[in-house]
Amino acid sequence: MQLSNRITTLLGDGHDGWGLYLKSREMIDAGIPVIELTIGEHDIRTHPDILNAMHKSALGGHTGYAAVPGVTALRQAVAARVQDRTGVPTTIDNVLITPGGQSALFSSHHAVCDEGDTALFIDPYYATYPATLRAVGAIATPVAAHARDNFEPQAEAIAKHAKGAKSLLINTPNNPTGVVYSRATLKGIADVCRENDLWLISDEVYDTQIWQGEHLSPRALPDMAQRTLVVGSMSKSHAMTGSRIGWIVAPEEAIEHLSNLATHTTYGVPGYIQDAALFALEQGPPLEAEIAAPFARRREIAMRVLDGQNVVKHLPAMGAMYLMLDVHATGMSGEEFGHALLDNEHIAVMPGNSFGQSAAGHIRVAMTVEDGVFGQALERLVGFAKGLAG
């Protein structure tokens, strides 16, 4: 029997660099102690108070089908949070609760792209982007952002691909680069979207992790609310990766249709998860700051280790839980360096090219292990690179 073309070609040829991750997993399974700086998973678990709220809700009977667009109180809390942060009037009719940001990315593209439409995204990119766009039948088209521009996408480069395209996906604070897009960059992006009638899908799942600069949601720029779908998630902000809870904030008409799509795909998000998410949002910025704090500390540690040497160059780590390091001076590709580091130092990182060609010659380091271990790992990484560079 023949499976669909769409599903059998989902991954395309974009699986470069993941061999390293798999190799580190095999070493760990074989009992070799590897320091894992690969995946964007917190080293803390969901806060016990959030779990208590989940437990209470489930025991209280919220275990049946929950309202598909999301329970009203949670939609209200998300609308209020987004309005507070952006100044854009936002009601529950602008909010769909989704099982995580990933589902929100898929559904958003489903809402704006027809089969064969061109969907733009910025390279370097979060690993799932190309296949997510292909999954809705769109032609996933990368637009390169360059290290020389701090990996901020340039409006002219987007404009070159924008003619006839349907949508543009951006992500700030950015995974994998740790860059927070400047106001000027976002204004340039908004101009291109308006001039070319593009939908903008704005992935803001790291909006609570800002170390430098400020996070600006492009939905707040003039005339952008009507063409922007914001993807949000509680995975990173509340260490709730396994709860699968996120949202889309978009024009009312889009939410109406997205709600129909949810009815025919996920049938919503479990009620006790939504109640736990509501409790978490009600704790406000203090809880978000507590969850972001370890990354802020480790970023300081990293800056101390990386400053005062120039073999491993680093971008200003402005946000999110990652560092993007340039290892060209070792004479190796990011992938070669990653393998050598794993073999010799038992430290696992992601090669830049697993996030697109623009990040080749780089490695991504996730700041997801305890401070002391993290500092030592970085020192060893720098020492190893210096040895290679001679």
Name the residue nearer to ligand PMP (CB basis): 272 or 355.
355
Kindly indicate which of the ranges 97-105, 151-159, 209-217, 270-278 contains the residues binding ligand PMP, using the contact rule CB under 6 A.
97-105
The tokens for 13 are 């040829």
- Which CA distances in Å does 245 have to 189, 198, 239, 327? 28, 27, 11, 36
Instruction: Tell the smallest beta-carbon distance from residue 320 to ligand PMP (Å).
Output: 8
The alpha carbon of 200 is separated from its chain's Cα centroid by a whole number of angstroms, namely 16
Kindly indicate which of the ranges 46-54, 100-108, 337-345, 369-377 contains the residues binding ligand PMP, using the contact rule CB under 6 A.
100-108
Kindly indicate which of the ranges 4-12, 73-81, 99-107, 304-312 contains the residues binding ligand PMP, using the contact rule CB under 6 A.
99-107
> Segment 38-77, which members bind ligand PMP (CB under 6 A)?
40
> Segment 191-220, which members bind ligand PMP (CB under 6 A)?
203, 205
Cβ atoms of residues 131 and 359 within 8 Å: no
182 exposure class (CB count in 10 Å sphere: 0-12, 13-18, 19+)? middle
Radius of gyration of the chain (CA): 21
> Segment 311-350, which members bind ligand PMP (CB under 6 A)?
none
Cβ atoms of residues 207 and 232 within 8 Å: yes
Q: Residue number with the shortest CB distance to ligand PMP?
A: 101
Instruction: Tell the smallest beta-carbon distance from residue 222 to ligand PMP (Å).
Output: 26
Instruction: Tell the smallest beta-carbon distance from residue 273 to ligand PMP (Å).
Output: 12
Q: How far apart are CA 326 and CA 11, in angstroms?
A: 27
Name the residue nearer to ligand PMP (CB basis): 277 or 312.
277
Instruction: Tell the smallest beta-carbon distance from residue 341 to ligand PMP (Å).
Output: 22
For residue 17, the one-letter residue type is: G
Using CB under 6 A, which of 171, 172, 237, 358 touches ligand PMP? 171
Name the residue nearer to ligand PMP (CB basis): 203 or 326.
203
Tell me how many residues contact ligand PMP (CB under 6 A). 13
Q: How far apart are CA 75 and CA 362, in angstroms?
A: 40
For position 175 contacting ligand PMP by CB under 6 A, the verdict is: yes
Kindly indicate which of the ranges 16-24, 27-35, 98-106, 370-378 contains the residues binding ligand PMP, using the contact rule CB under 6 A.
98-106
For position 177 contacting ligand PMP by CB under 6 A, the verdict is: no
Name the residue nearer to ligand PMP (CB basis): 77 or 205.
205
Instruction: Tell the smallest beta-carbon distance from residue 173 to ligand PMP (Å).
Output: 9
For position 102 contacting ligand PMP by CB under 6 A, the verdict is: yes
Cβ atoms of residues 22 and 304 within 8 Å: no
Name the residue nearer to ligand PMP (CB basis): 117 or 207.
207
Letters for 228-257 (x = contact with ligand PMP by CB under 6 A, - = none) are: -----x-x-----x----x-----------
Name the residue nearer to ligand PMP (CB basis): 248 or 312.
248
The tokens for 138 are 């769109």
Using CB under 6 A, which of 14, 17, 70, 101 touches ligand PMP? 101
Instruction: Tell the smallest beta-carbon distance from residue 175 to ligand PMP (Å).
Output: 4
Which residues here bind ligand PMP, judged by CB under 6 A? 40, 100-102, 126, 171, 175, 203, 205, 233, 235, 241, 246
